[in-house]
Amino acid sequence: MVKHERETVAAIKRAALFRALAPATQARLAASVTTLNLPRGRQLYRNGERCPGLYIVVSGRIMLSVGATDGDSKVIELIGPGGHVGLAATVLGTPQAATAETLADSTLLLIPREALLDSAAHIAELGLQLMAALGRGVCGLITDIEAFSLRSGRERVANYLLQLATANGTRTRPFTLPAKKSLIASRLNLTPEYFSRMLHELIATGTITVNGRQITILDPDRLHGTSR
Amino acid sequence: MVKHERETVAAIKRAALFRALAPATQARLAASVTTLNLPRGRQLYRNGERCPGLYIVVSGRIMLSVGATDGDSKVIELIGPGGHVGLAATVLGTPQAATAETLADSTLLLIPREALLDSAAHIAELGLQLMAALGRGVCGLITDIEAFSLRSGRERVANYLLQLATANGTRTRPFTLPAKKSLIASRLNLTPEYFSRMLHELIATGTITVNGRQITILDPDRLHGTSR
DNA sequence: CAGGCCCATTGATCTACATCAAGCCCCGGT
DNA sequence: ACCGGGGCTTGATGTAGATCAATGGGCCTG
């Protein structure tokens, strides 16, 4: 086995989707994978195109968005290493509902649709993992819709920061926003201007400090209070 | 085979989720099913509860919603005969992200979680159908988020009416709203008042006529124009 | 170190939609 | 036939958040 093959197996093992699978299954998937090295700003696919397969993010960052590429658009999700892109459209075989684009130089694994479905049909545990991932997608989107419909901009910002912080261990340890602020704003259904104002409101009350994309939560309890 | 069993097999065959399956698979699912007859206004489960399994709607109508049961809430989807409820939470085994409630006297089939997952693990085509259903859920929710973020209230109303009409055959044939107007409004992220105004705007321009819950599209092209 | 560019911030203004408050209509029960 | 209540409409008013317009930094590049 050459070095490059060992690396793709290692990347598969690190992917959230495949971590729980038996080594033999991981190896089988790795066999049908192609590795992509893409520069920043490249689109994986556009809204409406057919999706060649499932992408696993090894390094870099991917933005999922909807709306016109030129005019108004809205960020659905920001996906980092270990995550995956394009699962729903791949299992359906229908045109994509969103557009995916690299936000930084990224390396991805592409598992072709045929290989994925074929493996899922033969290996029950893989099928269950894919279902679970899709289920998590559904729940996440429902939670987003709830937030957009029922919570104020301020609440959404507070809640988002809290989520990032808890993902990063202790809530008071500084962390970095996963993209530039205008994209975070869009992810939260806000304009960059309004997002900035909300951030500065939190700074003014001594709840957080901001230094570029670096955020420190000073008062988690107060932040939690304003997120509800 | 008694009459009641034949009926549940027939209901399974009519469900969008299971229509494409082999008769043997349909029979296997039917064997583990319980039939529920629920009066209007009964909750199947609440946001945060664990879901006992997958519900198939045989007759009646189900509303999926998020938010406080008492205070503000938002309708995610309205589900009629042939549809299904609770798939995502069932495959995940996690608490529900939404609340489900009957809007009319309804009869449902309940397929327990264990039975569904077990069958899906053994029968690949069932697994693929479940994945496809979850994928459709993801795409639908993304489309909703796009509509809520990027389109005006007027556009959402026009688009929704157009969708209902195309589902019902010829677009100019009268059709009936699937719930009272205040719930449709919530489904579209609007207040009942604003929804009413948008409807009357469309009436004023001669685009549609409204009689209670019955809607007739007079000018599909104009409606399509305002939906964009 | 100057120049340009992109991003963030800040202030002033605007507006799509929500909220509040009556009325009205239809329909079902007595 | 009367009454009551829920759901829809209509009008007046309020506001969260968008838009428009400068200005102010990094940061890279030459």
- pLDDT per position as a tens digit, B13-35: 999 999 999 999 999 999 999 99
Q: Spell out, as residue ranges, where chain A has pLDDT lower than 70.
A: 1-3
Burial class (CB in 10 A: 0-12, 13-18, 19+), A99: buried
| Residue A87 to chain B, least CA–CA distance (Å) | 8
Any strand D atom closer than 7 Å to A154 CB: yes
DSSP A174-199: -EE-SS-HHHHHHHTT--HHHHHHHH
Query: Residue B160 corresponds to which tokens in the numbers above?
Result: 């929704």
Cβ within 7 Å of nucleic strand C, residues: A 180-182, 192-193, 195-197, 199-200, 210, 213; B 152-154, 189-191, 193-194, 212
Strand order from edge to edge, sheet including B34-38: B34-38, B106-112, B53-59, B84-85
* AA identity, residue A107: T
Tell me which chain A residues have a C-beta less than 8 angstroms from the C-beta of B65. Answer: none
Closest residue in B to A75 (Cα–Cα): B146
Q: Return the pLDDT at A125.
A: 96
Q: Rounded to two decimals, what is the model's pTM?
A: 0.96
> Letter for the amino acid at A41?
G
Polymer length of chain B: 228
Q: How confident is the model at residue B45 (pLDDT cuts 50, 70, 90)?
A: very high
d(CA B140, CA B137): 5
What are the pLDDT digits (tens) for B66-111?
998 877 999 999 999 999 999 999 999 999 999 999 999 999 999 9
Instruction: Name the pLDDT band for B6 (thresholds 50, 70, 90).
Output: confident
B68 or B123, which is more confident: B123
| Beta bridge partner(s), residue A103 | none
Take residue A5 and report the two structure tokens written for it.
Answer: 């093959």
Amino acid at site B160: Y
Nearest chain B alpha carbon to A93:
B132
Using DSSP bridges, classify how beta strands A53-59 and A84-85 pair: parallel, antiparallel or unpaired. antiparallel
Structure tokens at B172: 């100019």
pLDDT of residue A69: 80
Q: Give the CB-side neighbour count of residue A190, counting CA atoms within 13 A.
A: 22
Cβ pair A173, A140 in contact under 8 A: no
Mean pLDDT of B37-50: 94
Q: What is the pLDDT of residue B3?
A: 66
Helix axes B153-167, B124-150, angle to 10 degrees: 150
| pLDDT given for residue A16 in this prediction | 97
pLDDT (tens digit per residue) in B151-202: 999 999 999 999 999 999 899 999 999 999 999 999 999 999 999 999 999 9
Nearest nt (C1') from A191 Cα: D18
Radius of gyration of chain B (CA): 19
Q: Which amino acid does the sequence have at B146?
A: E
Give the model's pLDDT for residue A2. Answer: 62
Distance from CA of A155 to the nearest CA of B (A): 15
**Residue B64, pLDDT score:** 98
Length of chain A, in residues: 228
Helices A192-204 and A153-167 cross at an angle (nearest 10°) of: 70
CB-CB contact of A98 with A66 (8 Å): yes
The pLDDT score that the predictor gives to residue B4 is: 77
pLDDT at B213 over 70: yes
Residues 6+ apart with CB under 8 A from B78: B61, B62, B63, B64, B103, B178, B179, B183, B184, B187
The confidence score (pLDDT) of residue B68 equals 86
Query: CA nearest A86 in B: which residue?
Result: B135
Residue A210 CB burial class (10 angstroms; 0-12, 13-18, ≥19): middle
Average pLDDT over residues B112-130: 97
Q: What does the pLDDT read at residue A3?
A: 67
A136: nearest CB among B92, B125, B145? B92
| Residue A99 pLDDT | 96
With residue A161 as reference, give the H or E element that holds it: helix A153-167
The two three-digit tokens of residue B59, written as one number: 């007759």
